[in-house]
Chains A and B, each alone.
Chain A
Amino acid sequence: MLRGKQTWWFENRPVITGVGTVVGPDEGEGPLAADFDLVHPELDMQQKSWEKAERLLMEQASDFAIQSSGLQKEELQYYVGGDLMNQIISSSFAARDLGLPYIGVFGACSTSMETLALAAQLVNSGSAHHVLAGTCSHNCTVEKQFRFPTEYGSQKPPTAQYTVTGAGAAIVSESGQGPVVTSATIGKIVDLGVTDPFNMGAAMAPAAVDTITQHFNDTGRTPADYDLIVTGDLAGVGHPIAKDLLTRSGVPMEKTVFGDCGLMVFDVSKQKVQAGGSGCGCSAVVTYGHLLKRIAKGELQRILVVATGALLSPLSYQQGETIPCVAHAVSIERKG
């Protein structure tokens, strides 16, 4: 059901019945390591290329999600997925192995919540019984495609972010045990003229602020209604900017806990990750691996995850374009 301008209200309360998270070695050394289903000790995961390794992450995360839901693969109607690779090959090849009807989307680092929102909408509207939503990213495939060959000696500035090597998948069902997806606000593109691809945080912050504000306006909720609001990967530079912008707009963020997945997945003070984590996998593994566990334990009752994405391409940057960004917000609540 549409609420306000751009928010879906899921009155039939679709449930997240299964999740799977698989990460790489750097995330395995981070503070949330114990929350993930599988930690790979090496970045190549014994595959012949970085791209094949990313694909493996997505396949394994999907398998864990299906396993934890107790469902058979044949009971799923759709797989909604996306990633950062050209032509989203990681998701498409994972979809080939899953053999499910496939909806491929590109939302850059906002894909986790974009796919979750779509999955919840399909289930809520009676268009599916069970939908698999997933996304992944790999540090080396992103460096190779968007920046430099991985062994190239370039000096990253302190505003740069470190792409998470990880995949997160969730199964959304009509009924069952698990946290409930209650609403989703689909963001619009916001571009305030940032051109530096090594400062994504600053580029994406306005998009997060726009979507968060719109979410509150559409649902009539306020920050106090949430135990925790997290952004996907604004990290050390973008998150304070977003906080500032929200305060200036009169949004009382101090009434809730406002965090960021990019600052949670790594220990920014110890690991060499510059401003913090980024990538499609960042918000996916933190949400599905860590935050949902806290909801299950009863530590959190209602959270809002705002995944942020920078929709540039290596070419658009070279042609002098600015970085258009988007943010999608999904509210998840404890059942009962």
Chain B
Amino acid sequence: MFKGTTMSAKEYKAFAQVREPSRSIFSNCLKAFLVGGAICTFGQLIQNLYMTYLKMSETQAGNPTVATLILISVILTSLGVYDKLAQWAGAGSAVPVTGFANSMCSAALEYRSEGLVLGVGGNMFKLAGSVIVFGTVAAFFVGIAHLILGTGGQ
């Protein structure tokens, strides 16, 4: 008669943890740094182009720059390459605004099979929703803090 495993949950957790292939944290951070930095540098380039050729000021060029990056991200997601890049780049492709656009575009594409209203419309913010909700709530509390402290806005 063989006796089964008599490990407790805690013992098993430690047992399994030791046998888990470690994530190469350093190399992941390096890749994230390179890709994230590259995307931001590219964004800077686009902003400079808008300022030079469309004679926009720095503030005016901000919105078109973000919109351009979002468009590029949507195109790459639609071509099916953004997720391949992300497996390599990790946070380097998720943290820039391109990652935000990817989260919305990928959800929209995926749920198209459930129709435009319930599928695309109802699921587009599946991943991005948390970001918008928490950003808005945080902004609200920061605003309240400024109101209370009397530092009423810059």
- The residue of chain B having its C-beta at the shortest distance from the C-beta of A240 within the complex is B19
Which residues of chain B in 89-106 are interfacial with respect to chain A, using CB atoms and an 8 Å cutoff? 89-91, 93-94, 99, 102-103, 105-106
Interface residue B58 (Cβ < 8 Å from any Cβ of A):
no
Question: What distance in Å separates the Cβ of B73 from its nearest Cβ neighbour in chain A?
Answer: 9
For residue A96, CB closer than 8 A to chain B, the reply is no
Task: List A residues at the B interface (Cβ < 8 Å).
Answer: 48-51, 144, 148-159, 191-194, 199, 202, 205-206, 209-210, 213-214, 216-217, 236-237, 240-241, 244-245, 248-251, 272, 275, 322
Q: Which 9 A-B pairs have the closest CB atoms?
A: A153-B86, A193-B9, A149-B110, A49-B113, A151-B106, A192-B12, A152-B106, A202-B16, A155-B90
Identify which of residues 39-94 in chain B touch chain A, using a CB-to-CB cut-off of 8 Å.
Answer: 77-78, 80, 82-83, 85-87, 89-91, 93-94
* Inter-chain contacts of A214 with B (CB < 8 A): 4
Q: Are A194 and B5 in contact (CB under 8 A)?
A: no
Q: Can you sample 20 A-B contacts with CB below 8 Å?
A: A48-B113, A49-B113, A148-B127, A151-B109, A152-B102, A152-B103, A152-B106, A153-B87, A155-B91, A155-B94, A157-B23, A192-B8, A192-B9, A202-B20, A205-B16, A206-B5, A209-B5, A213-B2, A241-B16, A249-B2
Query: Is A153 within 8 A of B102, CB to CB?
Result: yes
- Using CB atoms, name the residue of chain B closest to A143: B110
> Chain A at the B interface: mostly helix, strand, loop or mixed?
loop
A192-B7, A237-B21, A249-B4 as given contacts; A151 in contact with B99, CB under 8 Å: no
In the complex where A151-B82, A159-B21 touch, is A217 in contact with B1 (Cβ < 8 A)?
yes
CB closest chain-A residue, reference B88: A155
Closest to A155 in B: B90
Cβ-defined contact, B113 with A241, below 8 A: no
Chain A residues closer than 8 Å to B91, beta-carbon distance:
155
> Bound complex: CA of A216 vs CA of B3, how far in Å?
10
Residues of B contacting A209 with CB < 8 Å? 4-5
Tell me the count of chain B residues lying within 8 A, CB to CB, of chain A: 44
Contacts of A206 in B (CB 8 A): 5, 7, 12
Q: Which residues of B contact A245 (CB under 8 A)?
A: 5, 7
Residue of A nearest to B11 (CB): A192
Q: Residue A149 contacts which of B9, B10, B109 (CB distance < 8 angstroms)?
A: B109
B106 touches which of A49, A150, A191 (Cβ 8 Å):
A150
Flag if A158 contacts B113 (CB, 8 Å): no
Shortest Cβ distance from B134 into chain A, in angstroms?
16
A272 / chain B contacts, CB cutoff of 8 Å? 87
- A residues less than 8 Å from B89 (CB atoms): 153, 155
Structural contact, A151 and B2, CB atoms closer than 8 A? no
Complex-state Cα separation, A210 to B5, whole angstroms: 7
B2 & A250 in contact (Cβ 8 Å cutoff): yes
Q: How far is the CB of B127 from chain A (nearest CB, A)?
A: 7
Residues of A within 8 A of B85 (CB): 153
- Which among A144, A150, A159, A249 is the interface contact of B5 at CB below 8 angstroms? A249
CB contacts (< 8 Å) of B23 on chain A: these are 157-158
Q: Please indicate the chain B residues that have their CB under 8 angstroms from the CB of A48 in the complex.
A: 113
State how many angstroms separate the Cβ of B152 from the closest Cβ of chain A: 39
Q: How far is the CA of A240 from the CA of B15 in the complex (A)?
A: 12
Name the A residues within 8 Å of B16 (CB-CB): 194, 199, 202, 205, 241
- CB-CB under 8 A from B107, the residues of chain A are 149, 152
Q: CB within 8 A of B21: which of A148, A217, A236?
A: A236
Q: Return the chain A residue nearest B114 by Cβ.
A: A49
Q: Does B146 contact A (CB under 8 A)?
A: no
A186 to chain B, nearest CB (A): 15
